[in-house]
Amino acid sequence: MEKILVLDFGGQYNLLIARRVREQRVYAEVRSYRNVTAESVAAEGYKGIIFTGGPQSVYAENSPKCDKKITELGIPVLGICYGAQLLACLYGGKVSPASHAGEYGKVEFTHGDDALFKDVPELSVCWMSHTDSITALPECFTATARTANCPVAAMSNGKNIYAVQFHPEVTHTEYGKKILGNFLFGVCGCKGEWNMSGFLKTSVERYENALKGKKALCALSGGVDSSVAAVLLNKAVGKNLTCVFVDHGLLRKDEGDKVERTFRGLFDMKLVRVNAADEFLDKLKGVTEPEKKRKIIGEEFIRVFEREAHKIGKVDYLVQGTIYPDVVESGAGDAGTIKSHHNVGGLPDVIEFDGIVEPLRYLFKDEVRAVGRELGIPEELVSRQPFPGPGLAIRIIGEVTEEKLAILREADAIFREEIASAKLCDNPDQYFAVLTDCRTVGVKGDARTYGYTLALRAVSTDDFMTADWTRIPYELLARASNRITNEVRGISRVVYDVTSKPPATVEWE
């Protein structure tokens, strides 16, 4: 199978590069620069290598670097942002703090004659995000693109090494897909024959062999990710898999019962439901800091799973529905932590399982859905709204209490009902309510009220790494607001979140 190596130097959107490669039916895998040698790269038979971005300055003392020999294997290399600067340094060029305090956002660039820019207009828009720039080209390299403030927006050695200061992987780069395609097909000679059915076949075979004779426990939340992970592992190991659904008391309205009904008869899977609301809420008493909430929930999940594993007998592995946005936001490798997901950064240091199995760890949400369809999971479940593992705990700002949970469940259900009944042409990819810790004055029946402010959130996205707030019709928002303030006790005011990701994240905590 032809494949591309995405060498990870700690950027927040590194797997987005792999995703863009996969979209063109070429398999890409992300590996940390720490775990790769020239010998291992040569042995894998990669068709090309992409150096990713990263948050550090390449000239800093402890900045991430790889062996130059990796670039001397004759395999085509494309450096992006930090990756471009690293290539410049490896070959004797110079990188310095950028003039004009760097470039951020959409920038026009022009290019010359270069394989990377075949059929790309001479003038187009790219997405820049850099504080450093290549200020002196390496010997035998030429600048192939520039912007008003960046003389080396791209460079090439005219053979097999290419570099761009901008980010072709983000949708804001007008011809980013074409530029990556030129590298994949024009430079690397890929054919584009990979698809999700191939991924599924390879994954099932891998776990059939790796977990042969072993018992596994799957942490099933009923969401898309854990459901797909459960069915995939069930296909691989069958009765050696037990799915444990932990009702932590932080679910949406009627969700626990729906999950149990769905999975009792689905794919003949073994399912255990654990009602642990009291212990989760007890652990969260008095806790207001979001990261602490996530870590408490992450650890408590593990302890419940360990307890259930003891009842089953010896269980070797814990299966989780971790996907790449969970990993990258939790701070993978040299990346900065945005928020610790309960199943990644929220895991305790010591667990009783021999290991953790994460079959979807390097997939995006839409790719997970595609795998689910390949597995024959019902569309209703595959297309289900994303719901974070910590549940409503991170949609309640401040301390989590039973009273707040009751308020939020009702308000969230109303908002979701209104969107479902509106049958919009383009439904948001995720929508929910957030109970803020802000109380405001209101008036009902000529009397003063002092209740919570509720925020409604809806976003449109294809990968959940970036997202735009959804322009929901005012009439829909008006109906939702009217119903919530009239039907839910304790809410005085409803607001709508109009912030995209970035600078915000999809969830509030």
**Buried b or exposed e, range 149-180, using 16+ CB within 10 angstroms:** ebebbbbbbeebbbbbbbbbbbebbbbbebbb
Residue 359 in 3-state DSSP?
A: coil
Q: Which domains does the chain have, with CATH numbers?
A: 3-187 (3.40.50.880), 196-382 (3.40.50.620), 394-496 (3.30.300.10)
Q: What is the pLDDT of residue 105?
A: 85
Look-up: residue for tokens 């850099």? 130
* pLDDT of 360: 92
Strands 447-460 and 241-247: unpaired
Spell out the residues 6+ positions from residue 410 whose beta carbon is closer than 8 angstroms to its own.
Answer: 253, 487, 488
Output the pTM of the full model.
0.68
C-alpha 52/C-alpha 61 separation (Å) is 19
User: What residues contact 441, with CB distance under 8 A and at least 6 apart?
Assistant: 448, 449, 450, 492
What is the Cα 92 distance to its own chain's centre? 35
CA distances from 373 to 195, 200, 270, 351, 378 (A): 13, 11, 21, 33, 7
Element (H, E) at 450: strand 447-460
Q: Indicate which residues carry an active-site annotation.
A: 81, 167, 169
DSSP 138: P
**Cα 327 from Cα 336, distance rounded (Å):** 11
Per residue in 374-388, is it b (16+ CB within 10 Å) or e — as a string? Answer: bbebeeebbebebbb
Q: Distance between CA atoms of 132 and 240, rounded to whole angstroms?
A: 52
Tokens of residue 475, six digits: 């009439």
Q: Report how far residue 197's alpha carbon sits from residue 114's, in angstroms, rounded to the nearest whole number.
A: 35
Cis peptide before 388, with omega less than 30 degrees from 0? no
Amino acid, single-letter form, for residue 326: D
- Return the closest-CA partner of residue 126 out of 143, 148, 156, 141: 148
> What contacts 257, CB < 8 A, 6 or more positions away?
none
Give the pLDDT score at 332.
47
Pairing state between β 216-219 and 241-247: parallel
Retrieve residue 345's tokens. 């950064």
- Among 327, 341, 345, smallest CA distance to 8 is for 327
Contact 407, 491 (CB under 8 A): yes
Residue 36 CA to residue 73 CA, distance in Å, equals 13
65: closest CA among 46, 79, 45?
A: 79
**CA angle (365, 22, 466) in 5-degree steps:** 45
How many Å apart are CA 14 and CA 8, to the nearest integer? 7
Phi and psi based region of residue 490 (left: phi greater than 0; alpha: psi -120 to 50; beta: remaining): left
pLDDT of residue 219: 86
In 288-401, which residue ranges form alpha helices assigned H by DSSP?
Answer: 290-312, 324-329, 365-374, 379-382
Task: Specify the DSSP class assigned to residue 119.
Answer: T
228 touches 260 (CB < 8 A): no
Examine residue 121 and say whether the peptide bond preceding it is cis (omega within 30 degrees of 0): no
pLDDT less than 50: residues of the chain: 331-348
Closest CA to 456 of 440, 434, 475, 472: 434
